Structure 1
Amino acid sequence: MNKLYFSQTNQMLRLICIKLPRQLKHKVSSLTHGHFFSTSSAKPIAELPNSKDPQSLTVSFLQNSCGLSLESAISASQKLNIDNPKNPNSVLDLLRTHGLTQTHIRNLISSRPLLLLADLENILKPNMELFESLGFSCASLGKMLSRDPRVLESDAYTVVEFFRAHGFSDDQISTLTMKRPLLYLFNAHKTFKPKLEFFKSLGLSDLEIAKILSTQPPILARSLEKQIIPCVQELRRILGTEENVLKAIKAGYGLIEANVEKVLKPNLSMLISHGVPHSLALKLFFLRPNPLLMSTYRFSEIVSEVMKFGFDPNNLQFVLAIRSMAMSKTLWKRKVEAYRGFGLSKDEIYSAFIRHPLFMAVSEKKIKISMGFFVNKLKMKPLLISKNPNLLLLSLEKRIIPRCSVLQLLMSKGLIKADTSLVYVWRMTEKYFVEKLVCKYKSDVPDVVRAHQGKIEFQGFSIDLKM
């Protein structure tokens, strides 16, 4: 058994030796000739070497303290020498104190070994405390740092203060940091400030700019002269007015970094070539321009599918259908299956889509929650939902359930009839609903106001209501 273990280990070390620099090869080579193991004891690699050689000590530290594999430790050891483990141990203690797991630490050190020698007091510790002050949890901090460990050695304070000074909330800075930690490696005043000033010159407020950039942080890494300004100029030519450009940008932040020549223009031309009037095609910019930013191949597929469903290119429904189908084929199938899970047939789903295209724009999560409420809680027939697809667009928490609570309360007092149509009540405008079913009865049933505010839990109807 010992001979087999020794033989396999020799083979592994020879393989690793091939990848080492010339000056290290003789060290590993000597290990494969009997000095790494005592064949009588066959100690595991992690316990050795006991040599005072700096390279060997570094490899040993990376394995034992950071959890790196032998091959990763040897690779990382080429970038640093640990002659005194005091600072590296302090760095590891700091990471653990802030809740990073051994897996986080292994990933950090594997990609950024020099982190172990970084300035603990003046850089690492202040940066960790700064990120913690932004509301990062242990898990999110570990995830963010694993994406780009260099953030820990950046001038994070200057970047954070720059964003705060330009109206970004700490939540927005935290979101931006998680999405694009690379931004901390830029000179904020030199790289970001001109972009913010340009966006402000377009008529965007500080709050709007903060919302756009925290949602779409890659824009900050784009070239102002080569990408952002030319893109906005093209949008002006396409949309005609500054007001339209602003409206389109607010509807889809990705427009600012769009490839106008290779993607946006070809997709727009494709719509027009299928008979969509120019004025109607432009509406997609204001509804949700993201479909126009898809690859021309995928966009062409979607347009063809919409044509097969029988939508009229001269009707707004055509554009809404494109907006709704602008997703991966996999996600579309998952949504269809989510509806089918509540009793709708595929034909009924497509029928609902044709009636109201935004029926398929609803998130998969909302489909499951809303359909669960309608079918399981209220015992609605799936076919009724297919015939009233706009119900899926209504807010369950803000509209459907509070109105059900109001009806439940008024019925228990005998103030309204049991044959009241739920669908009709849900479709009422808020003003009309409040006038007819809240204000009218609040003197007799004060709790009707609390029910409308969602402060009275809806228990379900004791009888079957007319839908």
Structure 2
Amino acid sequence: EMLRLRERIVSHLLSSPSAPATSPLPRLLSAAAAAISPNPAGFVVEEYLVDTCGLTRPQALKASPKLSHLNSPANPNAVLAFLAGLGLSGADAAAVVAKDPLFLCAGVERTLVPVVEGLTGLGLSRSEIGGLVSLVHHCFRRRTIVSKLKYYLPLFGSLDNLLRMLKRENHLLSADLDKVVKPNAVFLRDCGLGDCDIAKLCIHGPRMLATNPERVRAMVACAEGIGVPRGSGMFRQALQAVAFLSEEKIAAKVDYLKNTFRWSDAEVSIALRKYPVVLRKSKGSLKRRSEFLISKVGLEPVYIAHRSDILAYSMEGRLRPRYYVIKFLRQNGLLDRDLSLHTAVKMTEKVFVEKLICPHKEAAPHLAEDYAAACKGELPTNFRFT
């Protein structure tokens, strides 16, 4: 009987995304609730969470205090039927309840169904809505989620972009749209950022738009303070680099860069303008790159400062293997032009292989194999020539 009721609920949700006021859904959900537990007299929350919702005993112990006011399974059953109607498996529903036990108290006909109807009106499919529930759980039981997604979807360009950000953090769904988010978006546009830039900024730093507008203005001033003006091509990266860092931490990292790469004040300023995100690199990774590029490769500090984007690349996956390829080719007279490591590192993998590996298959038959091994960290002392 319960399975038939759930099938009717699913069918209703699929066939009628904009249910009329006389929708039979509430009645179906009530019937489903009654069918699951016709005798709620002995209702025990913890047992219900384990037996019906599928939570583990530790999860149920943690969740049950938040549901101590429940004395009937009627509403939780209706919620579970609703989640099943959106295509969530038992495990998916259990995960939602474990993260947000109060989801079981949400009003199905009062809140959840109108939210589904609103999101369907924005073009989301039933499976996308189900995925959204799994991702944002507590935010889904607020009807404001519809107006927020209506604003965010065009800003982020696609649901996939928005979901990428929400997977990291869902502050944007809790933030005040009119007092916080929109003023921040307007200000960032005034700084020369397009919606695409703002979306990328949020994917890397999800709290940016949800932060107090005064603090966002301070971050912009900080980005300008490291020498990257508003409207410049690197401004988004500069803002991403300084976001939520104190002036003291930025100053300390600048000093570390100067000492590690032997840069003057002028050179560190050039490096920051070229690659602001270097401020986010760990001290360990910067030290390894300095030792390799200056001590091993023999690059001058001023050269690195003017090409600081070289510090963005992986030591193991790109810098070191490509250096050894160039060194090998040069030592064996196979490099017919003056190719810098910076140029080689910036090539895509496909272009690098086509230009520097494939042409030497006969002269250096092991080059491709040695390069592949080097990219996996199995760096040979010398690339083999024969």
Range class of TM-score, shorter chain: 0.5 to 0.7
Structure 1 residue 219 displacement after superposition: 1.2
Task: Please name the residue that 1:192 is paired with.
Answer: 181
Structure 1 residue 150 displacement after superposition: 1.0
Task: Please name the residue that 2:60 is paired with.
Answer: 73
Task: Please name the residue that 1:209 is paired with.
Answer: 198
| Whole-angstrom distance in 2 between the partners of 1:141 and 1:369 | 41
Alignment CA distance shift 1:237-1:135 (3 Å): same
| Whole-angstrom distance in 1 between the partners of 2:361 and 2:126 | 41
Residue 333 (1) aligns with residue 323 (2): no
Structure 1 residue 118 displacement after superposition: 0.2
Report the number of matched residues. 317
CA contact (8 A) 1:306 1:322 kept: no
Q: Find 1:158's aligned residue among 135, 138, 147.
A: 147
Q: Find 1:117's aligned residue among 93, 105, 109.
A: 105
Task: Please name the residue that 1:265 is paired with.
Answer: 251
Task: Please name the residue that 2:226 is paired with.
Answer: 238
Ranked by relative contact order (alpha carbons within 8 Å, sequence separation 6 or more), the top structure is: 2
One-letter identity of the residue aligned with 1:76:
A
Structure 1 residue 183 displacement after superposition: 1.8
Describe the superposition over 1:298-345 as per-residue Cα deviations: whole angstroms up to 9, x where unpaired: 4344333332222111214774475244x5xxxx435589x6xxxx9x
Residue 182 (1) aligns with residue 171 (2): yes
Task: Please name the residue that 2:28 is paired with.
Answer: none
| Whole-angstrom distance in 1 between the partners of 2:361 and 2:116 | 52
CA contact (8 A) 2:326 2:341 kept: no
| Whole-angstrom distance in 2 between the partners of 1:240 and 1:198 | 17
| Whole-angstrom distance in 2 between the partners of 1:372 and 1:126 | 56
One-letter identity of the residue aligned with 2:50:
Q
Residue 303 (1) aligns with residue 290 (2): yes
Residue 355 (1) aligns with residue 340 (2): yes
Describe the superposition over 1:79-109 as per-residue Cα deviations: whole angstroms up to 9, x where unpaired: 2254333332221122223232322211211
The TM-score, its normalising length taken from structure 2, stands at 0.65
| Whole-angstrom distance in 1 between the partners of 2:196 and 2:57 | 50
One-letter identity of the residue aligned with 1:185:
S
SS at match of 2:225: helix
Q: Find 2:263's aligned residue among 276, 289, 292.
A: 276
Alignment of 1:414-429 (within 5 A): none
CA contact (8 A) 2:228 2:235 kept: no
Describe the superposition over 1:21-68 as per-residue Cα deviations: whole angstroms up to 9, x where unpaired: xxxxxxxxxxxxxxxxxxxxxxxxxxxxx99333x2x23321222111
The TM-score, its normalising length taken from structure 1, stands at 0.55
Q: Find 2:82's aligned residue among 83, 94, 112.
A: 94
| Whole-angstrom distance in 2 between the partners of 1:333 and 1:281 | 25
SS at match of 1:127: helix
Alignment of 1:371-390 (within 5 A): 371=353, 381=364
Gaps of 5+ in 1: 1-49, 387-467
| Whole-angstrom distance in 1 between the partners of 2:76 and 2:340 | 64
| Whole-angstrom distance in 2 between the partners of 1:208 and 1:74 | 44
More deviation, 279-288/191-200:
279-288
One-letter identity of the residue aligned with 2:94:
R
Describe the superposition over 1:254-310 as per-residue Cα deviations: whole angstroms up to 9, x where unpaired: 135151524433333344444435454334344432222224454344333332222
Aligned residues: CA RMSD: 4.3
Structure 1 residue 352 displacement after superposition: 8.3
| Whole-angstrom distance in 2 between the partners of 1:367 and 1:137 | 39
CA contact (8 A) 2:55 2:94 kept: yes
| Whole-angstrom distance in 1 between the partners of 2:359 and 2:228 | 50
CA contact (8 A) 2:267 2:305 kept: no
Q: Find 2:300's aligned residue among 288, 312, 316.
A: 312
SS at match of 1:217: coil
One-letter identity of the residue aligned with 1:73:
A
SS at match of 2:286: helix
| Whole-angstrom distance in 1 between the partners of 2:356 and 2:287 | 36
Structure 1 residue 156 displacement after superposition: 0.3
Structure 1 residue 184 displacement after superposition: 0.8
| Whole-angstrom distance in 1 between the partners of 2:341 and 2:113 | 55
Alignment CA distance shift 1:258-1:283 (3 Å): farther
More deviation, 117-126/300-309:
300-309
One-letter identity of the residue aligned with 1:308:
S
The structure number with the bigger radius of gyration is 1
CA contact (8 A) 2:227 2:273 kept: no
